[in-house]
Amino acid sequence: MTESEDDNILLPADEGGRIERIMRALELTQGVEIARRYLAMNAFDGALTMLGLILGGLFTINPLDPTPGFNAIFLAAAGTSIAMAISGFSGSYLAESAERDREVDEMGRAMLTDMSGSMYAKASRTTSIVVAIVDGASPAIAGFLVIMPLFLVPMGILHYQTAFYIGIGICMLLLFLLGLFLGSISKKNMWSYGAKTLLAGILTALMMLLIAWLTGASH
């Protein structure tokens, strides 16, 4: 690191608009790569989690009296999405903040100076917040996209089975698109990545079907 780069890290950066400052902070701390990994990984987790809940409802709800079972699955899915958002944000923020604070302290000791008010320290705090938002929002948004048709069942617009099937279709599409996104990042075969993430959804469905059959839980 050159002397001019040292000075840039030490000096606070308040110039530019809010978005520009955030982007500079992410670039300085390699936050873009971290946020991108969290986005793909947690959206994948959120979609598969909702797939498991929907399949559980599809296999176990009594068609003669579906309301109690559907309401339980619906509330469980919505509650899980909310819990993933809160857990992802709080857990990621605490973990990232701890790691960033330690990194800033170690850098300050190595440079024999106080880094707490430096540009890098401010960028680290910004990165912790952005990464936490991505970590919390990505599984929640993916989950709500999958269960979106379920909101139409209480309104009488969709039958519960139809809503479940549409939710499964949305989940499979979302998994495939996440695979394409990962493929574009890796600069490799996008369709291969899409097929792999889609396969994960298919395997989840097959495992749920096998468990339902072995336990006799399906109607």
Residue 5 has pLDDT above 60, yes or no: no
Q: What beta strand segments (E) does 28-171 contain?
A: none
Mean pLDDT, residues 120-130:
80
Residue 183 has pLDDT above 50, yes or no: yes
Q: Are 174 and 194 in contact (CB under 8 A)?
A: no
Task: Determine the pLDDT at residue 83.
Answer: 92
User: Quick one: tokens of 75?
Assistant: 């509330």
189: helix, coil or strand?
coil
Residue 8 has pLDDT above 60, yes or no: no
Long-range contacts: 149-156, Cβ < 8 Å, 24+? 150/54, 150/70, 150/73, 150/74, 150/77, 153/70, 153/74, 154/74
